[in-house]
């Protein structure tokens, strides 16, 4: 049931009578918490407050504590009067982009200060938004009427926008600048601590091993939000360089050898940079493919939103970032640019796609929810104490009112975060019923989540079936025991024990393992409606 469509809680009685008459034993309420600007119940702007439309005019004037009591009493009455249990969602992955606490605690999200690896993705995102407002004056299509129109824009992005951004500078090392550093060290003999013997066999190494060792010992990473942030550890660089050229010590280097050694060092740097350039080229290729794919879907596809004319306010891409103003200028630079949440096709649910080991935002792989800022928990409460405390209070509040919870986007919730918050919820309500929206793409991974989190049932959707055979398979898999099937108790047999007819025992059939229980839904809020998907054409 969707509270925003139900009117004030004081007027729910007739609706609940219908639910009771229909024989339901549990109601799933989508979130009652305060919604953000998109008005989606799953884009919550205040986790600890309920939306105004849950209350009548009289109750809207009450304090937050009094409102909580009103909702708690109403939910309790559903059970005491009708014997119907209640369940509601917990949304742990993200918060609305209009959430007030982001102005005070931007560290709760992935921003350009605490996640500087996102800076290249942010620059590309910003450049594409700016380009959206310039298409007409550049003679580029603003109304996408064919794939060819999209190709024209993509070609411009490839040949102009991306080349002008030079985002590879965030990956590679500046060869000329670092070569000058080594030239100076060779001429000045300023690094007497070099020990070429450490790398005595480096000249005979396989090039991949040599590059790996060079990167490990010689390259020093700086601030990731700075172009050409990588430098060299001069002492290690000299040791590596001399050993590579079979020179035993810096004292053996004559002035005539300096130029050749610098060229040799440039070659080492270029060897180090090459796979990074290749990685960058692949990222740009994938990004362009994804930009085109989303452009065609959002502007042309029959099942897409058909967003219409491109402009700066209606850009050719869906922005990956929420850009907030720092009202008092008290936060570090970049703190108010926060990554939006979303999902990725066939992604590993245990991998943080906004983390430093992922380039999903630069590759434009995220199908983004523009109204939701992704929350950054880290590995423990020590990494983000305010956020962990806030979300724990939210979870405890939901658990105190409802008999069960549904974990929204469980597959993209860090599993250690879910464990922590479920522990908090179960301390409030030990018999809490836990339902999860879990789509990992793997039965083994599903079982891992279910066993670690103690999930009672998973959401499964009939609308995911692409044909009648698949629908039949899903129905058999998730539909429970067929009507009229024999109970296991009925196949127990009394048999002789050790061939002695006087000794009788029960032969109990071995029970095989079972898969997680499922709530098999005809249609959920995430699915197309039957009118859209189960058309007459499907029958033929």
Question: Which residues belong to the active site?
Answer: 408, 411, 526
- Cα angle: 352, vertex 353, 358; to 5 degrees: 105
Strand partners, 173: 230
Q: Which residues contact 106 (CB under 8 A, 6 or more apart)?
A: 113, 324, 331, 335, 336, 338
The Cα–Cα gap between 509 and 513 comes to 13
* Pairing of β 433-436 and β 518-521: unpaired
CA-wise closest residue to 374 among 387, 385, 365: 387
Q: Taking a C-beta distance cutoff of 8 angstroms, is the pair 32, 71 a contact?
A: yes
Strand partners, 324: none
Tokens at residue 69, please? Answer: 């009591």
Q: Mapping DSSP to helix (H, G, I), strand (E, B) and coil, where does residue 487 land?
A: coil
Tokens at residue 43, please? Answer: 């884009």
Strand partners, 532: none
522 secondary structure, DSSP code: S
Q: Mapping DSSP to helix (H, G, I), strand (E, B) and coil, where does residue 182 land?
A: helix
Q: In Å, how far are 394, 437, 456, 522, 532 from 464, measured between CA atoms?
A: 32, 14, 22, 10, 13
The Cα–Cα gap between 67 and 71 comes to 6
Q: Mapping DSSP to helix (H, G, I), strand (E, B) and coil, where does residue 398 land?
A: helix
Tokens at residue 310, please? Answer: 């491109």
DSSP character string of 331-391? SPTTTTEEEEEEE-TT--TTS-TTSTT--TTTTT--EEEEEEEEB---SSGGGSHHHHHHH
Query: Under the phi-then-psi rule, with left for phi > 0, alpha for psi from -120 to 50, and beta for the rest, what region is 3?
Result: alpha
Q: Taking a C-beta distance cutoff of 8 angstroms, is the pair 196, 236 a contact?
A: no
Q: Taking a C-beta distance cutoff of 8 angstroms, is the pair 344, 367 a contact?
A: yes
Tokens at residue 300, please? Answer: 């042309």
Q: Taking a C-beta distance cutoff of 8 angstroms, is the pair 43, 96 a contact?
A: yes
């Amino acid at each position: 049931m969707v509270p925003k469509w139900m009117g004030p809680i004081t007027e729910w009685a007739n609706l609940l009578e219908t639910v009771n008459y229909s024989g339901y034993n549990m109601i799933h309420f989508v979130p009652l918490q305060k919604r953000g600007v998109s008005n989606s119940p799953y884009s919550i702007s205040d986790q600890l407050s309920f939306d105004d439309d849950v209350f009548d005019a009289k109750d809207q004037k009450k304090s937050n504590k009094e409102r909580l009591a009103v909702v708690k009493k109403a939910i309790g009455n559903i059970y005491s009067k009708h014997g119907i249990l209640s369940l509601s969602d917990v949304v742990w992955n993200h918060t609305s982009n209009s959430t007030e606490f982001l102005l005070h605690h931007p560290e709760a999200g992935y921003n350009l200060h605490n996640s500087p690896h996102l800076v290249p993705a942010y620059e590309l995102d910003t450049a594409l938004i700016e380009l959206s407002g310039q298409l007409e004056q550049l003679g580029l299509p603003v109304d996408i009427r064919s794939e060819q129109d999209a190709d024209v824009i993509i070609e411009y992005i490839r040949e102009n926008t991306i080349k002008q951004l030079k985002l590879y500078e965030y990956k590679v090392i500046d060869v000329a600048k670092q070569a000058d550093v080594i030239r100076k060290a060779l001429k000045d003999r300023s690094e007497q601590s070099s020990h070429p013997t450490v790398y005595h066999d480096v000249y005979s190494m396989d090039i991949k091993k040599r590059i790996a060792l060079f990167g490990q010992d010689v390259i020093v990473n700086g601030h990731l939000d700075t172009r050409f942030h990588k430098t060299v550890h001069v002492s290690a660089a000299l040791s590596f360089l001399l050993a590579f050229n079979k020179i035993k010590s810096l004292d053996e280097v004559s002035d005539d050898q300096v130029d050749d050694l610098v060229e040799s060092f440039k070659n080492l740097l270029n060897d180090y940079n090459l796979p990074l350039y290749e990685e960058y080229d692949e990222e740009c290729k994938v990004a362009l493919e994804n930009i085109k794919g989303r452009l065609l879907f959002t502007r042309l596809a029959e099942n897409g939103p058909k967003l219409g004319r491109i402009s700066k306010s209606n850009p050719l891409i869906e922005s990956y970032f929420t850009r907030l103003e720092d009202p008092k200028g008290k936060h570090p630079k970049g703190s108010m640019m926060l990554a939006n949440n979303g999902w990725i096709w066939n992604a590993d649910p245990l991998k943080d796609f906004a983390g430093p080991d992922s380039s999903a935002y630069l590759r434009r792989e995220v199908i983004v929810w523009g109204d939701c800022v992704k929350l950054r928990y880290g590995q423990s409460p020590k990494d983000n104490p305010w956020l962990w405390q806030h979300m724990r209070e939210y979870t405890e509040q939901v658990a105190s009112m409802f008999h069960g919870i549904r974990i929204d986007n469980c597959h993209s919730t860090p599993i250690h975060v879910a464990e922590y918050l479920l522990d908090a919820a179960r301390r409030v309500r030990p018999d809490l019923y836990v339902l999860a929206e879990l789509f990992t793409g793997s039965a083994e991974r599903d079982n891992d989540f279910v066993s670690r989190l103690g999930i009672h049932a998973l959401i499964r959707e009939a609308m995911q079936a692409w044909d009648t055979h698949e629908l039949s398979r899903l129905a058999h898999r998730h539909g429970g025991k067929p009507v009229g099937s024999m109970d296991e108790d009925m196949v127990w047999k009394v048999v002789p024990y050790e061939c002695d007819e006087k000794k009788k025992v029960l032969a109990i059939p071995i029970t095989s393992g079972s898969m997680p229980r499922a709530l098999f839904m005809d249609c959920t809020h995430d699915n197309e409606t039957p009118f859209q998907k189960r058309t007459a054409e499907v029958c033929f």
